Amino acid sequence: MSDIDIRITGRAGRITLTRPKALNSLTYDMAMAIDAALKDWAGDDRVALVVIDAEGDKAFCAGGDIQQLYDHGLQGDYAFGQTFWRDEYRLNARLAEYAKPVVSFMQGFVMGGGVGVGCHVAHRVVDDSTQIAMPECGIGLVPDVGGSLLLARAPGRLGAYLGLTAARMGPGDAIRAGFADRHVPRADWPALIARLEETGDISALPPSTDGLETPLADVQAQIDTAFVGPLDQILTRLEGMEGDFAASALKALRRNSPLAMAATLEMLDRLDGVQDIRTALTLEYRFTARAMEHGDFLEGIRAQIIDRDRNPQWKHTHVTRDEVQAILAPLPRDLTFEED
C-alpha cells in the first residue's frame, strides 16, 4: 500500500505513514492495515516493540480522511461512517491496550485520527514542531478516537477548553496535558529509532522531558474559571471577561457546533475519573454513529472542507439537555464498536 509502509526492521515492528502531501491523513485502509499488523505482531517473537512514525515535516497525521465519509453521508449512506468509526475505534483500543511497547514519533500536526494513532500508546515522542489538537467540534463531531478520555484527564478544566475551542498544543503543553511523554529534537530521531530497531529495548528512550514552554499553563486559572458548567454558562462567563484569552475562546465557541460542544461537556463529565479507553470509545461512538443523520457533521464538513465558506448553518443555536441525552443514548445492540 503506497499510503503506509509496514515492515519488521531488526527487533521492531515498523509502521510509517507515507502520504505527506495529504498531511498523512488516515484512510480506512490505512487504519485497517495498522490493525492487522498489530494483530500479527502480538504473537511474533521477532517483534519486541513497535515504532510508529510518518514521512514529511508538516504532519504526523492531521486527522482522518473525511472526504469518503462526506460523500457517502450526502447520499444517505450512514452505515459507511458507522463502519469507519467502529473499526477505527477498535484500532485505538488495540493501541492503548497493546501488550508490547509502542513508541510514536509525532511531528507537525497531530489532530483527530492522528491523536488516535499516536497519543494512546505507551511512549509518545514530540519535537519543536508538534501541534496537537482535537478540532472535531468545528465540523460537528465530538473529540473522538479516545481523545475524550485524554481531555477528561487533563489538568483542571483544560480538557473542556481544548475540546470546545480546538486550541493547539505545542510540545510542552501536550506533555503537560497528557497527550505526549517526552521531547526529543527531530535531528535525533533517526538515531533513536535505529537503536530501538537494533535492540528492541525501550530503555533507549531518553527520560521524560521537563522545562519546556507551556503557554496554556499561564492561562490555566482563566480556563478553570470560565470552562465550568453547561455551554450557556461558559459563554456568559467569557462574555464578561476581558482580555485576549476570553476574546479568542469566545470566537472559537461561537464558530463551532453547539450540539457537539454541549455533548462534549457531557462526555467529559461522565468520563471524570474513568481509566478504561473503551468506556470513552463507547460514549464517542454513540455520538459519531448518529452524527451524519442527526447531528451537524455533514454541514460542518461542507462549510470547512468542501465549500470552504466557513459559514456553517448549525441545526441548533441553543441545545437542550434532552437533545444531548438523546444523541448520547445507548445504541441498538447491533450497532457497537466492540468486537464480536
Active-site annotation, residues: 64, 113, 136, 144
> Largest alpha-carbon pair distance within the chain?
60
Comparing C-alpha atoms, which of 41, 159, 18 is closest to residue 95?
Answer: 41
Question: Facing residues of 50 across strands?
Answer: 13, 102
Helix (H, G, I), strand (E, B) or coil at 264: helix
CA dist., res. 337 & res. 126, Å (int): 30
Type of residue found at 22: A
User: 312 near 258, Cβ under 8 Å?
Assistant: no
Q: What is the DSSP string of 127-191?
A: -TT-EEE--GGGGT--S-TTHHHHHHHSSTTHHHHHHHH---B-HHHHHHHTS--EE--GGGHHH
| Rounded to 5°, angle at Cα 117 from 112 and 118 | 95
Radius of gyration of the chain (CA): 19
CA–CA gap between residue 213 and residue 172 (Å, rounded): 5
What is the residue-wise DSSP string for 43-87? T-TT-SEEEEEESSSSEEE--B--HHHHHHHHTT-HHHHHHHHHH
